[in-house]
Amino acid sequence: MTTKTQIATRVDKDLLAQIKEIEREMKADRAEVIRRLLDEGIKKRQLDKAVTMLRDGKVTVSKAAEIAGVSIWEMMEVMREKQIPVPYDEEDLRKSLKWIK
């Protein structure tokens, strides 16, 4: 069981109205809605961070998947969707061919 910690923040009226609308749509209380929105936002941020690092050549596909909290296969699908080429050079090919032999 995870321990929950209370946090507090102030939001403008427009954002509160959007939160209330989501509460109605989800049939959930405000705390649950905000937890879900935070979780989704953090996951998206981690994925965006991983994609940027991967695109910039700072991390491997495996490391990007780890940062994003997804499987390598899911990261490969994200790469396909975002048209990021798979970083595979001659040295990688040599290693693959050696492994096959």
pLDDT, residue 58, reads: 93
pLDDT, residue 36, reads: 97
CA pair distance 99, 26, nearest whole angstrom: 51
Has residue 69 got a pLDDT over 80?
yes
Sign of the Cα torsion 2, 45, 68, 73 reads positive
Amino acid (1-letter code) at residue 47: L
Domain residue ranges in the chain: 13-100
Cα maximum dimension of the chain: 65
* pLDDT digits 0-9 by tens, 12-42: 999 999 999 999 999 999 999 999 999 999 9
pLDDT, residue 54, reads: 93
pLDDT, residue 2, reads: 80
Ramachandran quadrant class, 27 (left: phi over 0; alpha: psi -120 to 50; beta: rest): left
CA pair distance 32, 73, nearest whole angstrom: 30
Q: For the residues 41-48, what does the mean pLDDT come to? A: 98
pLDDT, residue 97, reads: 75
Structure tokens at 2: 């995870």
